[in-house]
């Protein structure tokens, strides 16, 4: 098995009180035998993710980041609740095990879930992994099919009708992310005002088919079966899931997807192996979503542009913490460059759009 996403030593400033965590997990789950170990998964820019091992049982612990956080972000109980409702009918969602708000353990709410073993694809494929073009194409199809399956779950039936308000969803997203971007803007960041104005003026009508949307659906949030890279074993990072317009979810996914013929500058944004032979283009992904969903999509420009803007907002919020010395993670320093590129790409979408 190719090992892609193995935990490493914990980053400076993000250490946990190992003894307190051990006592809580061992007492709660009854796993008293064997060595206890905590390590950190190195990827990801938002909630912090750790591998916890108690004997032969491997789990994943999720907690909010240190430093400045948006008021509605990093709600651990919400994420836990989503997984608890989804896992029984959508097993690609990890099985949650524990949740606590006890400040004595680590000073913040956190939860523990089962670890899904498998392969996670990052920016470049490892040398010992072969992804044939036909396998890459099938993987893309399965990603879209899984996303559509999520969108069509009866969220009221599984008790998630209070997760979000589908009425006015797009407006709240545009206005909310505009406010968050302005609040997190640093002196070296673009103002994004033209993009925000366009998104406000060109809002599409509300969907008549709202559903559960993941809101961060991308290649490095899916776990693949090592024996069959076409097959998705799990979907991770549910912190932004809600009830809303599925096309906004698809647009968010497209923002991460770099095509082989994108500009050289846009290529600098590539964090995933989406340019590998056999991978679908953004247009092909949309066409396949139309095929499996039966939805009529006149234009994806708006949803793609919003996806780019939201991605910039997320990056800017994280960069804000680095800019103001609230985190020492040096990966965050380069995010200002990403924000600048995203503004240019969003403007090109607007300039070419017929909306």
**Per-residue pLDDT reduced to its tens digit, 160-191:** 999 999 999 999 999 999 999 999 999 999 99
User: Is the pLDDT confidence value at 322 over 70?
Assistant: yes
Q: Which CATH number fits domain 133-352: 3.90.1200.10, 3.40.50.2300, 1.10.150.120, 3.60.150.10?
A: 3.90.1200.10
Class of domain 18-114: alpha beta
pLDDT for the residue 327: 82
State the pLDDT confidence band at 330, using cuts at 50, 70 and 90: confident
- The predicted pLDDT at position 44 comes to 62
Q: What is the mean pLDDT of residues 286-292?
A: 98
- Mean pLDDT, rounded, of the chain: 93
Give pLDDT tens digits for 67-112: 544 444 568 999 999 999 999 999 999 999 999 999 999 999 999 9
Q: What is the mean pLDDT of residues 265-280?
A: 96
Question: What pLDDT score was predicted for residue 3?
Answer: 53
Give the DSSP letter of residue 281.
P
pLDDT over 50 (residue 257): yes
Q: What is the pLDDT of residue 7?
A: 84
What integer pLDDT is reported at residue 12 of this predicted model?
86
- What pLDDT does 66 receive? 74
Per residue, the 3-state secondary structure of 179-233, as one string, reads: HHHHHHCCCCCCCCHHHHHHHHHCCCCCCCCCEEECCCCCHHHEEEECCEEEEEE
- List Cα–Cα distances, 201 to 75, 171, 178, 204, 225, in angstroms: 31, 10, 13, 9, 43
Tell me what pLDDT residue 86 has. 98
* Residue 135 tokens, joined: 């396998």
Q: What is the residue extent of each domain of the chain?
A: 18-114, 133-352
């Amino acid at each position: 098995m190719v090992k892609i996403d193995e935990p490493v030593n914990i980053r400076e400033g993000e250490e946990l009180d190992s003894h307190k965590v051990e006592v809580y997990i061992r007492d709660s789950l009854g796993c008293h035998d064997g060595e206890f170990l905590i390590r950190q998964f190195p990827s990801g820019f938002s909630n912090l993710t750790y591998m916890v091992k108690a004997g032969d049982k491997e789990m994943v612990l999720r907690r909010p980041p240190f430093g400045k956080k948006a008021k509605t972000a990093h709600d651990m109980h919400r994420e836990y609740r989503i997984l608890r409702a989804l896992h029984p009918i959508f097993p690609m969602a990890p099985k949650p095990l524990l949740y606590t708000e006890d400040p004595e353990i680590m000073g913040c709410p956190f939860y523990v879930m089962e670890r899904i073993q498998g392969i996670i694809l990052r920016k470049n494929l490892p040398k010992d992994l072969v992804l044939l073009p036909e396998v890459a194409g099938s993987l893309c199809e399965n990603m879209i099919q899984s996303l559509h399956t999520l969108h069509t779950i009866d969220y009221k039936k599984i008790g998630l009708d209070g997760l979000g308000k589908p009425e006015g969803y797009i407006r709240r997203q545009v206005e909310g992310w505009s406010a968050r971007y302005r609040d997190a803007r640093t002196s070296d960041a673009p103002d994004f005002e033209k993009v925000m104005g366009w998104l406000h003026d060109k809002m599409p009508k509300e969907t008549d088919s709202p559903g559960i949307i993941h809101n961060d659906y991308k290649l490095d949030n899916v776990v693949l079966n090592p024996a069959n890279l076409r097959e998705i074993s799990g979907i991770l990072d549910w912190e932004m899931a809600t009830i809303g317009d599925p096309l906004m979810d698809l647009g968010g996914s497209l923002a991460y997807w770099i095509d082989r013929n994108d500009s050289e500058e846009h290529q600098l944004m590539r964090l995933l192996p989406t340019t590998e032979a056999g991978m679908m283009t953004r247009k092909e992904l949309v066409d396949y979503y139309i095929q499996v969903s039966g939805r009529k999509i006149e234009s994806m420009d708006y949803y793609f542009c919003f996806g780019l803007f939201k991605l910039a907002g997320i990056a800017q919020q994280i960069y804000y913490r680095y800019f103001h010395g609230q985190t020492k993670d040096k990966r965050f320093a380069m995010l200002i460059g990403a924000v600048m590129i995203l503004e240019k790409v969003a403007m090109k979408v607007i300039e070419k759009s017929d909306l």
